[in-house]
Structure 1
Amino acid sequence: MSSEIYVEAQMLIRASIEDVFEAFINPDLTVNFWFTKSTGRLEEGETITWEWEMYDARSEVKVLQIVPNSLIKTEWGDPSSRVDYEFKKMKEGTLVIIKSYGFSQTGEDLLKIINDNTGGFTTVLDGCKAYLEHGINLNLIKDKFPKK
């Protein structure tokens, strides 16, 4: 990934690394800040489906690697790209870094996907922070593109 183009979003979440990691692995928690439905927990070697029912959208997510409380490596999207979720214990809580890379797009299409990934993953992290720190579901993903 060293010379490859990638997108990175990060956020300090004032919660234990175990709680933050679990929020990304366990769909019962993740639905409070990201997708609306999942076929199961993230488990290494498995492929699960995430859904965003309000947009009639879904994605197959291949779980490539899991290092408990440290790293989740996935591949998903259409066309697919890699998305890594890194968790770092900090004095104040947990730093979550989401990196997306392996884009097949070029030119304007690449710029659009970089913009979409940057905004999308920042929104996910904002929602996770609100949920884990304050118990609030801000409906950020649902309200990002409201129906007209």
Structure 2
Amino acid sequence: MESKIFVQAQMLIRKPINEVFEAFINPEITTNFWFTKSSGKLVEGETILWEWEMYDAKSEVKVHQIIPNQLIKTTWGLFSNNVDYEFKEMEKGTLVIIKSFGYSETRDKLLSVINDNTGGFTTVLDGCKAYLEHGINLRLIEDKFPSK
């Protein structure tokens, strides 16, 4: 049974909405703050492979809908959770809201997934903010779970 619970992370990024939106669909930018490798740009109706080489991890990302500068709807992850990325133009920049939902896990496993998603998407938004606003790759994803 699918849970009605969702995770939400958000961050104001002080850049124009078109730049912030492009950062999430274009792997040449996204690899500076999130995954290390991608099979291509996010395109509606296609499935893309994202990789985190330092963890030997991969995930297929199915792109369901793209509304330029507004919304990206995807399904991805081990259990095919829904992940939506919303972009809202604000006076000081762009508000990015990431929502993850559609969990099939229950009890302790659900709590673990919620914790991982909340922390993970917050880290992604922090890294995106640092990269887009200041040109700094903080290596947050790489350093989140150091091997040594």
TM-score normalised per structure 1: 0.98
- 2:21 is matched with which residue? 21
Residue 69 of structure 1: aligned partner: 69
**Cα deviation digits, residues 23-64 of structure 1 (max 9, x gap):** 000000000000000000000000000000000000000000
Report what 2:58 is aligned to: 58
CA distance, structure 2, for counterparts of residue 49 and residue 116 of structure 1: 20
User: Which residue number corresponds to residue 103 of structure 2?
Assistant: 103
2:83 maps to what in 1? 83
- Alpha-carbon displacement from aligned partner over 1:81-104 (angstroms, at most 9, x marks no partner): 000000000000000000000000
Task: Name the structure 2 match of 1:47.
Answer: 47
The aligned counterpart of 2:34 is 34
Structure 2 CA distance for aligned equivalents of residues 78 and 145 of structure 1: 19
RMSD: 0.8
**Share of identical aligned residues, percent?**
75
> Which SS does the other structure have where 2:48 is aligned?
strand
Whole-angstrom CA distance in 2 between matches of 1:4 and 1:93:
31
Provide structure 2 residue ranges, at least 5 long, that are not aligned to the other structure: none
Partner of 1:138: 138
Deviation at 1:76, TM superposition (A): 0.3
Report the count of equivalent residues. Answer: 146
- Taking the aligned partners of 1:42 and 1:100, their CA distance within structure 2 comes to 18
Question: Which amino acid in structure 2 is aligned with residue 37 of structure 1?
Answer: K
Deviation above 2 Å: which 4+ runs of structure 1? none
Question: Over residues 107-142 of structure 1, what are the superposed CA-to-partner deviations in whole Å (9 max), with x where a residue is unaligned?
Answer: 000000000000000000000000000000000000
Matched letter for residue 135 of structure 1: G
Amino acid at match of 1:92: K
* Superposed displacement of residue 4, structure 1: 1.7
Residue 79 of structure 1 deviates from its aligned partner by 1.1
Q: What is the TM-score of this pair, normalised by structure 2?
A: 0.98
Counterpart of 1:109 in 2: which secondary structure? Answer: helix
